[in-house]
Amino acid sequence: MISDHLTELAKRYAQAWCSRNPDAVVGFYAKNASISVNDGALTPIADVARSFMRDFPDMLVTFDKLEPRDDRIAFHWTLTGTHAGSGNKVRISGYELWKIDNDGLIAESKGHFDAADYERQLREGVN
């Protein structure tokens, strides 16, 4: 069962990604939180947000759904935007597997998306 609190958190989190302010995203995370993308190394949340915001200055992140997974919550999202380097339009969906702490903040996030399709879109754009 997904609480109203988590649904509201997810909506505001997606809006924070659209804000072009990495600190807005960081505000959803616990002090010692971690994030990894596609099973990569743990990376500071601000660095991940800054990177995507730099690469997609017109980025729009939408909240698609929440899905319970054991003791985690899967936050499903879609990112659309124009890549600053290639000028190509990108539309990629994925999810973050969240562990929520007792304060209702994200303590851990493991992001997942189709990296091969993402790389293809960077080269060719959205079909």
Q: Which residue has the tokens 């060719």?
A: 124
Q: Does domain 4-124 have CATH number 3.10.450.50?
A: yes
Domain ranges of the chain: 4-124
**pTM over cut 0.85:** yes
pLDDT per residue as tens digits for the range 46-98 = 999 999 999 999 999 999 999 999 999 999 999 999 999 999 999 999 999 99
Helices and strands in the chain: count of H runs, count of E runs: 4, 5
pLDDT at 29 over 80: yes
Neighbours of 2 (CB within 10 A): 12
Q: How far apart are CA 107 and CA 102, in angstroms?
A: 9
Quick one: CA torsion of 16, 20, 107, 13, rounded to 10 degrees?
10
